């Protein structure tokens, strides 16, 4: 990677290459920090996204994080940790914390904030900086294939209450909360990992149902919001991640001034449409600041090192050709750096946690959580909607 970066510096200039790297968060393979990633971090890479295949043990994640931050103190180690069905650090055995739907059913915001703070303290001790949560999608579609129990529920007011509480708990633990999936993935019938979801509801419905939770957390000062690869026809003709109109609504009408983070660009809604590199250019041009490149082992394996270099080249070429202004790229890179710098300050101010889930104080509350009533029987047996291997 050193030779590749030197070549990119020679072609485009080190300042432009550093800015392009600064808006990228790629995945990687293995459980140790790869040499190419270390070189990219030295050159300004925004951070890395951790997946289940990167986790051998919490101690290994902690060592990886320490090495990453030794090279680049403000870089971000991010992960999907929602509790319930979506976890990375505990993917082998399942999360020790209840998911959003269980918390929504109990409807105790003090408990929700406490669970998020407890989980966040453990994640922070493992070296995680940013968590792609809370899920603010209002579960409005019975056959939604990707949200389901990842949502707090179908009532926007309930999602607002618990979304704010969950984000506050992560903040209490010194973590960056990244709410998702703006402007809403709850009323879709398609999984954006596999296709392009569309929502045909009118603008009044979107404001009342889908946008309300994001407006609430934006007002509360959440530091990051993740865009969805979903087409809301009342807003734009393209997926939100690629839509200047939709990202502009988040900025101007919802008043959000934090980091806009893309959902993973290897999801089929992007990769099988405009393509990943063109998608990165369009997303940045639309107003997205931080580009999550995705999982190099799922759904289709690829070379994360080569892909990161190709993404840098695509962004630099786009600036050279006037498809993205240098000012827009620099603005995005500044926002990401500021997020990382703020992470250092938050982590330093957070209370010291324990070393594992068993030492945390809400184990009794978790043990009391139980589902009662009859689950719906579908063809092939009982089905509980959720996502065990996916996330974002």
Q: Which residues are catalytic?
A: 193, 263
User: Exposed e or buried b for every residue in 110-122, given b needs 16+ CB within 10 A?
Assistant: ebbbbbbbbbbbb
What pairs with residue 227 in β-bridges?
A: 182, 262
Q: Among candidates 89, 92, 93, 18, which has minimal Cα distance to 60?
A: 89
For residues 84 and 150, the answer to whether their CB atoms sit within 8 Å is yes
- Distances in Å between the Cα of 257 and the Cα atoms of 316, 331, 336, 338 are 25, 12, 12, 12
Which residues does 377 contact at the CB level (< 8 Å), separation at least 6? none
3-state helix, strand, coil in the chain (%, to 5): 45, 10, 40
The one-character DSSP state at 352 is P
- Distances in Å between the Cα of 208 and the Cα atoms of 88, 167, 240 are 33, 21, 18
CA dihedral in degrees (21, 23, 26, 31; nearest 10)? 80
For residues 314 and 308, the answer to whether their CB atoms sit within 8 Å is no
Which residues does 374 contact at the CB level (< 8 Å), separation at least 6? none
* Vertex 26: Cα angle to 83 and 87 (nearest 5): 10
Which residues does 196 contact at the CB level (< 8 Å), separation at least 6? 190, 229, 230, 231, 239, 268, 269, 273
Which residues does 93 contact at the CB level (< 8 Å), separation at least 6? none
Q: Among candidates 247, 287, 243, 295, which has minimal Cα distance to 268?
A: 295
């Amino acid at each position: 990677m050193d030779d590749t970066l030197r070549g990119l510096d020679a072609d485009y200039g080190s300042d432009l290459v550093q800015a392009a790297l600064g808006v990228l968060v790629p995945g990687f393979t293995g459980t140790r920090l790869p040499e190419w990633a270390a070189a990219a971090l030295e050159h300004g890479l925004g951070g890395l996204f951790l997946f289940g295949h990167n986790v051998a043990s919490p101690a290994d994640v902690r060592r990886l994080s320490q090495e990453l931050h030794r090279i680049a103190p403000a870089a971000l180690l991010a992960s999907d940790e929602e509790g319930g069905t979506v976890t990375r650090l505990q993917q082998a055995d399942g999360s020790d914390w209840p998911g959003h739907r269980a918390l929504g059913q109990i409807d105790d915001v003090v408990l929700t904030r406490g669970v998020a703070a407890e989980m966040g303290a453990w994640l922070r001790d493992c070296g995680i900086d940013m968590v792609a949560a809370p899920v603010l999608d209002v579960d409005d579609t019975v056959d939604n294939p990707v949200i389901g129990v990842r949502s707090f529920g179908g009532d926007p007011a309930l999602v607002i209450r618990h979304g704010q509480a969950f984000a506050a708990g992560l903040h209490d633990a010194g973590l960056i909360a990244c709410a998702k999936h703006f402007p809403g993935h709850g009323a879709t019938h398609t999984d954006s990992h596999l296709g392009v979801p569309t929502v045909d509801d009118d603008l009044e419905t979107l404001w009342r149902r889908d946008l309300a939770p994001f407006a609430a957390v934006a007002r509360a000062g959440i530091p990051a919001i993740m865009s969805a690869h979903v087409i809301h026809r009342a807003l734009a003709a393209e997926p939100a991640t690629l839509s200047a109109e939709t990202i502009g609504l988040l900025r101007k009408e919802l008043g959000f001034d934090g980091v806009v983070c893309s959902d993973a660009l290897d999801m089929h809604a992007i990769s099988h449409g405009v393509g990943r590199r063109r998608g990165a250019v369009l997303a940045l041009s639309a107003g997205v600041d931080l580009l999550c490149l995705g999982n190099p082992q799922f759904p289709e394996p690829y070379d994360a090192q080569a892909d990161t270099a190709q993404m840098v080249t695509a962004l630099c070429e786009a600036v050279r050709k006037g498809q993205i202004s240098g000012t827009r790229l620099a603005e995005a890179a500044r926002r990401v750096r500021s997020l990382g710098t703020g992470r250092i300050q938050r982590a330093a101010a957070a209370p010291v946690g324990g070393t594992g889930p068993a030492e945390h104080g809400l184990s009794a509350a978790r043990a009391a959580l139980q589902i009662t009533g009859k689950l719906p029987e579908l063809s092939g047996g009982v089905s509980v909607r959720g996502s065990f291997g996916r996330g974002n």
